[in-house]
Amino acid sequence: MSDVVITVRGESNARVRAEEAAVRVTVSTDGPARGPVVERAQERAASVQDGLVAHLRSGEVSEWSSARVSVWSDRPWNNEGAQLPLVHHAAVELSATFTDAGALSWWLGDVAESDDVQVTAVEWRLSPTTRARVEREVAADAVHVAVERATAYADALGLASVSAVEIADAGLLAAHPETPAPLGARMMAASAGGPSFSLQPPEIVVTSVVEGRFRAE
């Protein structure tokens, strides 16, 4: 039998407990007078920042920032179609990365007591070092799976040796891929849901899919 080209796909994944939580909150105020509205937003934001600084010093927060400050005004309309007096608004967006779920739960419970603070997002993730390590391990395992599949096909054909010709992320070996997969491993949360005040880090699923072309003889 002449040489045969075998094309296979290898997949692998790992489940790793999340290590960090990126949280975003918005402090927003409104009222009929611009000065007091802005002042109240600044005071409430300063209080939130003080809590973040305390957690940063204790090592429960790795970083925080005040992303954006917005001040604007509008004139709302009532149910009868009449335009009401001017209303002023102020908003301050803050973000922080927590490395301790217990500290995050306590902090969210504290800031949620104010009507001026809204928690807009809590995103669980791995640390950069862990993510890079796990992605390398999962990608290597996906290649091993592809080699094993190609070897099994070759054995079934009575061919003795298998050598790699091409290895690529899923979709890159196709002649006309419709939706090429991004390079490297894909990462997503294993579970999703709204933030609560008794938070447990979810598992992060790190997945790698590769395609390989092998020559068997």
State how beta strands 203-216 and 162-169 pair. antiparallel
- Its CATH class, for the domain covering 20-125, is alpha beta
How far is the C-alpha of 179 from the C-alpha of 19, rounded, in Å? 31
All CATH 3.30.110.170 domain ranges of the chain, comma separated, are 4-17+128-216
Q: Beta partners for 116? A: none
DSSP 53-96: HHHHHHTSEEEEEEEEEEEEEE--B-TTSPBPPPEEEEEEEEEE
Q: Which long-range contacts (CB under 8 A, 24 or more apart) does 109-118 make?
A: 109/197, 110/51, 111/25, 111/48, 111/51, 112/197, 114/44, 116/27, 116/28, 116/29, 116/40, 116/41, 116/44, 117/25, 117/26, 117/27, 117/44, 117/48, 118/25, 118/26, 118/28
- What is residue 186's predicted lDDT score, i.e. its pLDDT? 40
CA atoms of 183 and 164, how far apart (whole Å): 19
Q: Cα 11 to chain center, whole Å?
A: 21
DSSP SS3 for 145: helix
Q: pLDDT tens, 167-213?
A: 999 888 865 444 444 434 344 443 334 444 567 899 999 999 999 99
CATH 3.30.70.120 in the chain, residues?
20-125
In the predicted model, residues of the chain with pLDDT beneath 70 are: 1, 174-198
* pLDDT at residue 41, rounded to an integer: 93
How far apart, in whole angstroms, are the C-alpha atoms of residue 74 and residue 87?
5
Fold of 4-17+128-216: Translation Initiation Factor IF3 (3.30.110)
How many residues does this entry show for the chain?
Answer: 217
So what's the pLDDT on residue 76? 86
% of residues, the chain, pLDDT over 70: 88
Write down the pLDDT at residue 109. 87
Residue 182's pLDDT is 42
d(CA 147, CA 203): 28
